[in-house]
Amino acid sequence: LQLASGLRGALGRDEFQVHYQPQVDLESGEVRCLEALLRWFPAGGEVVSPAQFIPAAEASGLIISIGQWVLDTACAQLAVWRKDGFPGLRIAVNVSPVQFARPDFVEVVQVALDRAGLEAGALELELTERGVLADLPGVLEQFRALRRLGVQIALDDFGAGEAHLGRLLHLPFDVLKLDRNLIVTLDEQPEAQRFMSALQVFASSLDLELVAEGIETPAQLEAVRTLGCHRAQGYLLGRPVAVWPSPDEE
């Protein structure tokens, strides 16, 4: 309850920030995309993780205005990076199912892109299976509309929930993000590598780009590279930061 009332005025009080975590293209070694990660700094308090406040924001409906602010902020930041010498850079933004289900969502995305002067290909939307399984006909329409626009859609946290594969695969995703639970076992378990190798065949037959999340060790990075993942993200390659590139990493 305290969380919900604190959230209510948080946008107006300017308490949110978007942090950015790089995704490294495994072929070139370059950062081609960053994931936008929301952070809340309530006045006088510690930073609150979205894992804690997103559910309350969804229940209260505040997620609509917060989510729109994240989209606008991330797109505007990307436009700045592109001008500052990273012309091909892209941005990945997490989207709540509550946001995604709204009939005006595609328009909200279009407005954010237009305001920032970005083409739709600059934006990737990350959805979890939680969001796409509720109402399949409506969701499929939404996918088609976003596709027509040219936005990419990633299935986030793959391998962490109880994915209903038969239904998920009816949706035209562009990207599969492998949850870090799959990555942590790569170091020690040979069967994990065989499983990942099968996933690579599966993803490639569906024309899905594979992103490995939660890379923390050089061995994990080497493993996902060998297994044919396209991009990698994790603390080893860069933490979420308010300012990218980090001044001290230059």
What is the nearest approach in angstroms of Na ion to the Cβ of residue 93? 13
Q: Which residue is nearest to Na ion (CB)?
A: 157
Q: Which of 31, 38, 116, 203 binds ligand G (CB under 6 A)?
A: 38
Residues 6+ apart with CB under 8 A from 223: 186, 187, 193, 196
Q: Is 156 in the site for ligand G (CB under 6 A)?
A: yes
At position 211, the amino acid (one-letter code) is V
Burial (Cβ within 10 Å: 0-12, 13-18, ≥19) of residue 186: buried
Q: Pick the closest to residue 241 from 39, 13, 75, 42 (CA basis).
A: 39
Binding to ligand G (CB under 6 A) within 93-152 occurs at 94, 96, 126
- Binding span for Na ion by CB under 5 A among 4-12, 33-41, 156-164, 182-190: 156-164
| Beta strands at 175-178 and 123-128: parallel, antiparallel or unpaired | unpaired
How long a stretch of residues is the chain?
250
CB count, 10 Å around CB of 121? 12
Q: Are the CB atoms for 225 and 232 separated by under 8 Å?
A: yes
Q: Pick the closest to residue 179 from 114, 144, 119, 129 (CA basis).
A: 129
- Binding span for Na ion by CB under 5 A among 17-25, 67-75, 83-91, 150-158: 150-158
What is the nearest approach in angstroms of Mn ion to the Cβ of residue 43? 27
Q: Is 37 in the site for ligand G (CB under 6 A)?
A: yes
Q: Is 68 in the site for ligand G (CB under 6 A)?
A: no
Q: Is 22 in the site for ligand G (CB under 6 A)?
A: no
Q: Which of 143, 146, 157, 183 binds Na ion (CB under 5 A)?
A: 157
Chain contacts with ligand G (rule: CB under 6 A): 21, 37-38, 49-51, 54, 67, 70, 94, 96, 126, 156-157, 180, 213-216, 234-235, 240
Residues that bind Na ion (CB under 5 A): 156-157, 213
